[in-house]
Amino acid sequence: MISTYQRLKDNLEYLKLKKASESLDEVIDFITANELSFTEGLLRLTDVEMDHRKTNLIKAMVKVGAFPFIKEIKDFDFDFQPSVNKAQILEFESLGFIDKKENIVFLGPSGVGKTHLATAIGIASAKKRNATYFIKCHDLIMQLKKAKLENRLDDRLKHFNKYKLLIIDELGYLPIDKEDSKLFFQLIDRRYENKSTIITTNINFGEWDGIFGDPVIANAIVDRILHHAKVISISGKSYRLKDHLIKKESND
């Protein structure tokens, strides 16, 4: 005859409460040791399952975000990059800018930590279960261009517009021709005052004409990005140089 304990284990597994089933012995011991009521014991068992599912959901959201690496704000060396206001970055991490549908632009030369900070904020967003996605600007343009050729541009624009936070990395590293600039404008226009976007770039806004190949389109893009935006200008040494110096000092 199957014991009551085994039937409970079987029921939990049948209901796909795998973590609750795995933790049953531990929870029973805790209930007994602390003389908990039936309701308190059941609550603890379901809390174990809920915590497990939340953890898995967060991992899934981070994975879907397609981040280039897993780095958080705590991993950023603010002492090495004193031009960055730590308090302001921590405020971004609280994600209030997403509720306000504001944008963030990280502006500075290559290697100063723009992508690290953008990614860290993105990971914080994903952990709060906001639909978040990271993409290089060139890859974004190529996807929109391909979608246009295949007569599915509107669907692709809807896809990128669904993200509560979209991170567009390395804008300006490669030139964008006039027709492709129109595609980029359509995306920015859809997200304008509707969703938040983080952009990293090494080009000052006054020089964006040269990126997009058309001053009218460039001005329209800049206008929509900056209307509700915080611009973080980063100056200083490259992190890659820092790592190189550390290795050099270690070898000396």
**pLDDT tens string 142-172:** 999 999 999 999 999 999 999 999 999 999 9
Distance in Å from the first CA to the final CA of the chain:
73
Give the total number of structural domains in the chain: 2
Angle at 134 between CA 246 and CA 100, to 5 degrees: 110
Same domain? For 107 and 147 the reply is yes
Same domain? For 78 and 45 the reply is no
Query: Coil, helix or strand for 193?
Result: coil
Angle at 174 between CA 173 and CA 175, to 5 degrees: 125
Instruction: Let me know if residue 39 belongs to a domain.
Output: yes
Same domain? For 44 and 77 the reply is no
Query: What average pLDDT does range 102-113 have in this prediction?
Result: 94
pLDDT of residue 49: 87
Looking up residue 202, the CATH number of its domain turns out to be 3.40.50.300
Instruction: Let me know if residue 79 belongs to a domain.
Output: yes
pLDDT of residue 235: 87
Q: What is the mean pLDDT of the chain?
A: 90
- Domain boundary among the residues 64, 85, 111 is at 64
Q: pLDDT band for position 85 (50/70/90)?
A: very high
Query: What average pLDDT does range 29-46 have in this prediction?
Result: 89
pLDDT of residue 145: 96
- Domain boundary among the residues 29, 44, 64 is at 64
Instruction: Let me know if residue 220 belongs to a domain.
Output: yes
Same domain? For 95 and 146 the reply is yes
Same domain? For 43 and 14 the reply is yes
Instruction: Let me know if residue 36 belongs to a domain.
Output: yes
- Over 90: is that where the pLDDT of 99 sits? yes
Instruction: Let me know if residue 174 belongs to a domain.
Output: yes
Contacts with 140 (C-beta within 8 Å, 6 or more apart), sequence order? 160, 168, 184, 187
- Domain boundary among the residues 64, 81, 111 is at 64
Same domain? For 10 and 116 the reply is no
- Over 50: is that where the pLDDT of 249 sits? no
Same domain? For 29 and 134 the reply is no
Region class of 45: left (phi > 0), else alpha (psi between -120 and 50), else beta: alpha
Instruction: Let me know if residue 251 belongs to a domain.
Output: no
Same domain? For 12 and 90 the reply is no
Whether residue 115 contacts residue 102, with contact meaning beta carbons closer than 8 Å, is answered with no
Provide the residue range defining the domain that includes 25: 4-64
Residue type present at position 160: F
Query: What average pLDDT does range 70-92 have in this prediction?
Result: 93
Query: What average pLDDT does range 126-139 have in this prediction?
Result: 95
Query: What average pLDDT does range 54-59 have in this prediction?
Result: 79
Q: pLDDT band for position 174 (50/70/90)?
A: confident
Same domain? For 212 and 89 the reply is yes
Contacts with 72 (C-beta within 8 Å, 6 or more apart), sequence order? 120, 123, 124
Query: What average pLDDT does range 188-216 have in this prediction?
Result: 94
Instruction: Let me know if residue 249 belongs to a domain.
Output: no
Same domain? For 162 and 144 the reply is yes
Rounded Cα distance between 229 and 193, Å, is: 10
Would you say the C-alpha torsion 41, 47, 50, 52 has a positive or negative sign? negative
Same domain? For 46 and 146 the reply is no
Same domain? For 132 and 15 the reply is no
Contacts with 241 (C-beta within 8 Å, 6 or more apart), sequence order? 111
Minimal CA–CA distance to 119: which of 109, 133, 139?
A: 133
Instruction: Let me know if residue 222 belongs to a domain.
Output: yes
